[in-house]
A = this chain, B = another copy of it.
């Protein structure tokens, strides 16, 4: 089952010019000075004359000097590398956050090293160890679903290294975090549905053990209450974030005596399942049933009808996490920050039975 069509082996140019990598010592020797002067010149230390600095830089270039940041890091006690741990690096949400972080920290000369926990606590712990061993400047992490112990994270803090949680946060350790306001996300979704004339609004919940899902559920409850709508027990269902699950649940929901006329979901995928089942069974979306997803996965904009969804501001989240991290790193404040970002409801066709073209009631 090797997926290889053909290998082609090409003789490779013998690498000859072994060129002994040049260090600051060579530069010093060439300039008849010492390594300390060179180091200082290269690091813009004010205690060096402009003249010397110029000469050093010139010679460095001439000799093709390339700094060894590992040696520097060893001496300094930490590197300019930031560890990131996510459950999966190829989920659009996480890869987008990663991109946001990378963009932001690069400005300050940092790089990021990526680890995946695959939702396993065990992997997460190993990753933390590997990162600490690599002497990262600190860690930015979205904890795995499984994580219920936090010694490994506490250890990071004990070493005085910045630790920033994002999206999947916890109150169990006292450190900075960045997340979206999940309550607000769900609240806005429901309000939007109400404004568009839907009244019997079902809720696809997530695992209530996870705080972000509890928050979203609270948002749903509050919005329903504020809209003077009843919260029916049979309308609130825990649905895994899968298309098929969404289909199955929708089928059940629609066979109730009094089926819902809208679905507010905690996941784009279960929302998609709902939409698929409905259209396959000749229900009109959004005319008969309105749908709002959560996550604003790219696919939502390509569906027919296009799907309204809550955007989680992933890139912003990355950027903000990076900022909080760097702030912590500069050591300005040893105070834990809890940042909540505003989610954005991206309204599309699936939730607007009224006034197609207009925006609100």
Contact = CB atoms under 8 A, between A and B. Distances in A.
Interface of A: 3-13, 15, 17, 19, 21, 66-71, 73-74, 79, 81, 88-92, 95-96, 98-99, 102-103, 111-116, 129-135, 157-160, 174-175, 181, 184, 243, 272, 279, 298-299, 302-304, 313, 315-316, 320, 333-342
Contacts of A303: 302-304
A65 to B, nearest CB: 11
Given A4-B320, A12-B174, 6 more contacts: A3-B341, A5-B342, A21-B159, A70-B79, A111-B113, A299-B302
Contacts of A181: 5
A319 to B, nearest CB: 9
A355 B314 CA distance: 43
Contacts of A69: 133-135
A184 B111 contact: no
A164 B165 CA distance: 33
A70 B243 CA distance: 45
Nearest to A324: B7
A174 B158 CA distance: 47
Contact of A111 (B17, B115, B336): B115
8 contacts: A3-B341, A8-B338, A9-B337, A10-B337, A12-B175, A13-B174, A90-B92, A102-B115
Given A272-B302, A299-B298, A88 B99 contact: yes
A31 B158 CA distance: 26
**Which of A88, A116, A315 neighbours the largest number of chain B CB atoms within 10 Å of its CB?**
A116
A4 B340 contact: yes
A181 B7 CA distance: 12
A306 B215 CA distance: 35
Given A98-B114, A336-B9, A81 B304 contact: no
A169 B99 CA distance: 23
Given A113-B114, A114-B102, A157-B15, A135 B7 contact: no
A345 B7 CA distance: 22
B113 A113 contact: yes
A339 B90 contact: no
